[in-house]
């Protein structure tokens, strides 16, 4: 039985993806540590700092399958240290005395931080790919439903007509900005860590910068201006940006959830026979995918305070913040990837119900079009006077029933200025979508970053 949902055989795919579980698995963590140690030995061998034969042997043996993870865990518990037990095990598997040259001039946090950055790079590649796929799904909705008129809503109430393509374009533009953020963030987050015990590279003397540059070139990571042992703003930025991505996915899923409500019925997440909504109400067609996306997006968002808290590290090294990062980095990456992938699947099979959108345009018997009437009357009455008249008429219709058209024609101030044909034209929601189509086209045409 799993103690945490992400490791549960039953629930793991509701809180993460198989790809993210692989990237942040124990095997991957240890392999990334070994990758850093091997790269360090390789460049130091090439620079003549350690024997080249030792560097080659370290590179050959830096494979997680040669490490007994059970023994490593036991020694980590005994020593209260993650890297020293690994170095001892590596010394055992390396021929001759090659193990004596592992970790030359490094400190534990150099290895752990750089290993984490390598994992984060893999995770960002997957997350960005998922975000691009999601953008494509949303853009398709934007183009396909450019002219599908529906009720726009504000404060939970019907407001004015829009098109579904316009609504999707708002989503697409937001996702476009997230792709920009991911690209901008990479140069600040995908930076290596190799600076020695307190960040001064004292152990390598005047060779420190040479080794540092060569190491990060080897690993394909950015070169920091100075150590970031206690400068965790890059990790905090990572969590903040991923939380924004997850929040957008959650918002879109929640919108679908709301528009799938029985009384609205304008959208529905994919349904297939066999999908059960209730153990006792056979008629139910629930939106469980959207509910999961919203719930997991909230969990990602709640990780931001922990990431900001970790920025407040102490002195030149602080394991307290590192321990919290070890918990939330894999979780945030896994959950963000999950909501992006799951929402793409929802949008790929989304049911759009034009008939229900059309029906809902007329639920309030014309009240949806009050602005159009007010603006037309403003030409002769002035805006404030027109607002007062239309407000009074609308409230009467709202309270007493009837239609806005009937009430307008019965009001002397209106009937003296507007004929029935004019009122009919103003109350047509299809003629009052403004520049919705233009904005949808504009967003759909934007090249991706």
Q: What is the pLDDT of residues 358-388, one digit of tens each?
A: 999 999 999 999 999 999 999 999 999 999 9
Report helix, strand or coil for 106: coil
Determine the structural domain holding residue 400 and report its residue range: 367-426
Question: Is 243 in the same domain as 144?
Answer: yes
Question: Is 299 in the same domain as 343?
Answer: yes
Question: Is 347 in the same domain as 379?
Answer: no
pLDDT in tens, 3-59: 888 888 888 888 899 999 999 999 999 999 999 999 999 999 999 999 999 999 999
Note the pLDDT of residue 275.
80
**How many domains in the chain?**
3
Mean per-residue pLDDT of the chain: 95
Alpha-carbon distances, residue 285 vs 265, 268, 288, 291 (angstroms): 11, 9, 9, 13
Residue 210 has pLDDT above 60, yes or no: yes
Query: Does 125 fall in a domain?
Result: yes
Question: Is 185 in the same domain as 115?
Answer: yes
Residue 296 has pLDDT above 60, yes or no: yes
Q: Which residues pair with 154 in a beta bridge?
A: 157
Question: Is 16 in the same domain as 161?
Answer: no
Question: Is 248 in the same domain as 347?
Answer: yes
Query: Does 239 fall in a domain?
Result: yes
Question: Is 124 in the same domain as 233?
Answer: yes
| Cα gap 383→373, rounded to integer Å | 11
Note the pLDDT of residue 100.
96
135 has catalytic annotation: no
Query: How far is C-alpha 396 from the geometric centre of its chain's CA atoms?
Result: 46
Q: Which of 176, 178, 278, 303 is catalytic?
A: 278
Structure pTM?
Answer: 0.95
Q: What is the mean pLDDT of residues 225-240?
A: 97
| Cα gap 103→92, rounded to integer Å | 15
Query: Which of the listed residues 69, 90, 105 is the one where a domain comes to its end?
Result: 105
CATH number, domain with residue 6: 1.10.275.10
Position 150 confidence tier, pLDDT thresholds 50, 70, 90: very high
Lowest average pLDDT, out of 212-216, 218-222, 270-274, 360-364, goes to: 270-274
Question: Is 441 in the same domain as 420?
Answer: no
Note the pLDDT of residue 281.
81
Query: Does 421 fall in a domain?
Result: yes
Query: Does 212 fall in a domain?
Result: no
| Cα gap 436→428, rounded to integer Å | 16
Query: Does 63 fall in a domain?
Result: yes
Note the pLDDT of residue 284.
82
CATH number, domain with residue 410: 1.10.40.30
> Is-contact 114 193, C-beta < 8 A?
yes
Position 274 confidence tier, pLDDT thresholds 50, 70, 90: confident
Q: What is the mean pLDDT of residues 93-101?
A: 95
> Is-contact 374 426, C-beta < 8 A?
no
278 has catalytic annotation: yes
Q: Which residues pair with 151 in a beta bridge?
A: 161
Query: Does 80 fall in a domain?
Result: yes
Tallying the residues shown for the chain, one arrives at 449
Question: Is 276 in the same domain as 327?
Answer: yes
Note the pLDDT of residue 1.
56
Note the pLDDT of residue 397.
95
Question: Is 339 in the same domain as 382?
Answer: no
Residue of 302, 166, 328 whose CA lies nearest to 247: 302
CATH number, domain with residue 138: 1.20.200.10
Position 161 confidence tier, pLDDT thresholds 50, 70, 90: very high
Query: Does 18 fall in a domain?
Result: yes
Question: Is 437 in the same domain as 413?
Answer: no
Position 355 confidence tier, pLDDT thresholds 50, 70, 90: very high
Note the pLDDT of residue 13.
85
Question: Is 311 in the same domain as 284?
Answer: yes
| Cα gap 332→384, rounded to integer Å | 51
| Cα gap 148→163, rounded to integer Å | 5
Q: Which of 103, 145, 155, 415 is catalytic?
A: 155
Report helix, strand or coil for 87: helix
Count of other CB atoms within 10 angstroms of residue 12: 18
């Amino acid at each position: 039985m799993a103690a945490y949902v992400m490791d549960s055989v039953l629930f793991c795919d509701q809180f993460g993806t198989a790809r993210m579980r692989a990237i942040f698995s124990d095997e991957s963590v240890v392999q990334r540590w070994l990758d850093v140690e091997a790269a360090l030995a390789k460049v130091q061998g090439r620079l003549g700092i350690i024997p080249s034969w030792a560097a080659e042997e370290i590179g050959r043996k830096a494979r997680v399958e040669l490490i007994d993870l059970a023994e490593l865990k036991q020694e980590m518990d005994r020593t209260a240290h993650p890297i020293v037990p690994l170095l001892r095990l590596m010394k055992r598997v390396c021929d001759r005395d090659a193990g004596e040259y592992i970790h030359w001039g490094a400190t534990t946090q150099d290895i752990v931080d750089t290993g984490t950055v390598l994992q984060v790079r893999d995770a960002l590649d997957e997350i960005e790919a998922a975000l691009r796929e999601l953008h494509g799904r949303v853009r398709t909705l934007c183009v396909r439903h450019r002219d599908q008129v529906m009720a726009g809503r504000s404060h939970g109430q019907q407001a004015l007509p829009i098109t579904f393509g316009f609504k999707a374009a708002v989503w697409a533009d937001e996702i476009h900005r997230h792709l920009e953020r991911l690209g901008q963030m990479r140069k600040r987050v995908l930076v290596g860590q190799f600076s020695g015990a307190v960040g001064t590279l004292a152990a390598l003397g005047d060779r420190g910068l040479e080794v540092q540059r060569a190491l990060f070139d080897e690993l394909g990571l950015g070169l920091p201006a100075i150590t970031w042992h206690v400068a965790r703003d890059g990790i905090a930025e990572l969590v903040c940006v991923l939380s924004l991505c997850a929040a957008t996915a959650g918002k879109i899923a929640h919108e679908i959830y709301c528009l799938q409500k029985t009384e609205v019925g304008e959208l529905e997440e994919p349904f297939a026979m066999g999908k059960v909504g209730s153990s006792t109400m056979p008629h139910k067609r629930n939106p469980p995918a959207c509910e999961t996306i919203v719930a997991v997006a909230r969990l990602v968002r709640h990780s931001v305070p922990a990431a900001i808290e970790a920025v407040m590290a102490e002195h030149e090294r602080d394991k307290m913040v590192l321990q919290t990062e070890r918990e939330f980095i894999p979780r945030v990456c896994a959950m963000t990837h999950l909501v992006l992938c799951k929402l793409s699947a929802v949008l790929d099979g989304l049911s759009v119900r034009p008939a229900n959108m059309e029906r809902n345009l007329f639920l309030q018997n014309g009240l949806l079009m009050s602005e159009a009437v007010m603006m037309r009357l403003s030409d002769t009455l002035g805006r404030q006077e027109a607002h007062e008249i239309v407000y009074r008429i609308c409230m009467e219709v709202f309270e007493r029933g009837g239609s806005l058209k009937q009430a307008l024609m019965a009001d002397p101030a209106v009937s003296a200025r507007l004929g029935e044909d004019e009122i009919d034209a103003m109350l047509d929601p299809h003629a009052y979508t403004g520049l919705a189509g233009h904005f949808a086209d504009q967003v759909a045409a934007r090249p991706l970053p």
